[in-house]
């Protein structure tokens, strides 16, 4: 099954409540997937670039990390947000790869932070104090694993490019072939997970010059399987369902926000939902909003 929620705020006054609203929505979707949960939050709270890293042994791996990498660090349980001027990002990533094998990169970008772990949505949200996070938009996912193991790295969202992330309800049947094809073109993924391949595919298309809408359109031809995708970029939020569209999806829009839920249940406590435009996104149709 899997459960997806997403929230794209038009009204800036709601930004301090983003984490809280997303958490409530995701917790409502808990029974769609008990294996792991994750949230991507977009917030431009400082200049420069943020890299979110995760460690299975945070006490050891995060000790002295700020000095070793020459960055500011903010530790949240098993995750740490590394903040740095954008021009040193490549050097920091190279140092992490060379000297810090225990660190896993969750995301990098000017706005994105990703928090994900094995466990139920409420547990994961509490560990990372997600309800306290402000932001402009965010995506949450609770997973019922099918295509790869139940691990932190197998949890959604997947981020394969700066400020990009993807969550998925469904399963892809051609991900192995596509993974090999992307590897030949120099785009590599970290896991055996099908969704990560879809994320890498979109990143690759966008590196080739597509905008997100064009990349998603191309995915309709190249991605074989069942999917409802919700995608985040630095200032945008998109939704795509496969042409068969058996994975559920509900969108709601008001003057204040656009919200996505795998089920309407996820949306019922949003402000003004009774007067919102609520609809089921059409199959094989790209929906996209940006600031």
Partner 1 sequence: MQTLDLEKDTLRDVNATLQSQGAQTNQTTWEIINPKGAHAIACGLDAGIEVTVKGSTGYYCAGMNKSAMVRVKGSVGPGVCENMMSGKVVVEGDASQYAGATGHGGLLVIKGNASSRCGISMKGIDIVVHRNIGHMSAFMAQSGTLVVCGDAGDALGDSIYEAQLFVRGSVKSLGADCIEKEMRPEHIEKLAALLAEAESEADPSEFRRYGSARKLYNFDIDNAGAY
Catalytic residues: 2
Judged by CB under 8 A, does residue 248 bind partner 1?
yes
Q: What is the 3-state secondary structure (H, E, C) of 204-257?
A: HHHHCCCCHHHHHHHHHHHCCEEEEEEEECCCEEEEEECCCCCCCCEEEECCCE
Place of tokens 């997947």: 158
Cβ proximity to partner 1: between 149 and 279 the closer is: 279
Minimum CB distance to partner 1 smaller for 114 or for 266: 266
**How many residues bind to partner 1 according to rule CB under 8 A?**
17
Nearer to partner 1, 47 or 274 (CB): 274
**Minimum CB distance to partner 1, residue 264 (Å):** 4
Task: List the one residue from 44, 146, 280, 291 that touches partner 1 (CB under 8 A).
Answer: 280
Residue 265 lies near partner 1 (rule: CB under 8 A): yes
Please tell me whether residue 244 adopts helix, strand or coil conformation. coil
Q: What are phi and psi of 124, to 5 degrees?
A: -65, -40
The answer to the question of residue 264 lying near partner 1 (CB under 8 A) is yes
Name the residue with tokens 């509490």: 126
What is the x/- site pattern for partner 1, positions 70-109, by CB under 8 A?
Answer: ----------------------------------------
Query: What is the distance between the alpha carbons of residues 67 and 267, in angstroms, rounded to a whole number?
Result: 43
Tell me the two tokens of residue 219. Answer: 């995915």
Contact footprint for partner 1 (CB under 8 A): 243-246, 248, 250, 263-268, 278-280, 282-283
């Amino acid at each position: 099954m899997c459960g997806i929620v997403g929230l794209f705020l038009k009204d800036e006054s709601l930004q301090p409540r983003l984490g809280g609203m997303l958490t409530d929505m995701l917790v409502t979707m808990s029974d769609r997937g008990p294996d792991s949960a994750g949230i991507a939050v977009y917030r431009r709270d400082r200049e420069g670039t943020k890299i979110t890293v995760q460690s299975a042994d945070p006490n050891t791996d995060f000790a002295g990390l700020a000095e070793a990498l020459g960055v500011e660090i903010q530790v949240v349980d098993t995750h740490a947000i590394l903040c740095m001027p954008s021009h040193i990002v490549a050097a920091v990533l190279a140092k992490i790869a060379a000297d810090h094998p225990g660190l896993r990169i969750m995301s990098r970008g000017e706005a994105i932070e990703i928090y994900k772990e094995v466990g139920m949505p409420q547990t994961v949200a509490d560990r990372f104090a997600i309800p306290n996070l402000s932001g402009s938009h965010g995506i949450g996912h609770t997973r019922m694993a099918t295509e790869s193991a139940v691990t932190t790295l197998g949890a959604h969202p997947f981020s394969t490019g700066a400020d990009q992330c993807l969550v998925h309800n469904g399963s892809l049947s051609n991900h192995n072939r596509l993974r090999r094809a992307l590897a030949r073109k120099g785009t590599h993924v970290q896991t055996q997970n099908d969704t990560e391949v879809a994320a890498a595919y979109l990143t690759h298309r966008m590196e080739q010059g597509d905008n997100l809408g064009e990349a998603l359109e191309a995915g309709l031809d190249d991605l074989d399987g069942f999917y409802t995708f919700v995608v985040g970029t630095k200032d945008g939020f998109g939704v795509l369902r496969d042409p068969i569209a058996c994975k559920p999806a509900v969108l709601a829009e008001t003057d204040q926000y656009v919200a996505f839920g795998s089920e309407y249940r996820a949306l019922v406590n949003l402000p003004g939902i009774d007067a919102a435009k609520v609809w089921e996104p059409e199959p094989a149709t790209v929906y996209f909003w940006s600031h």
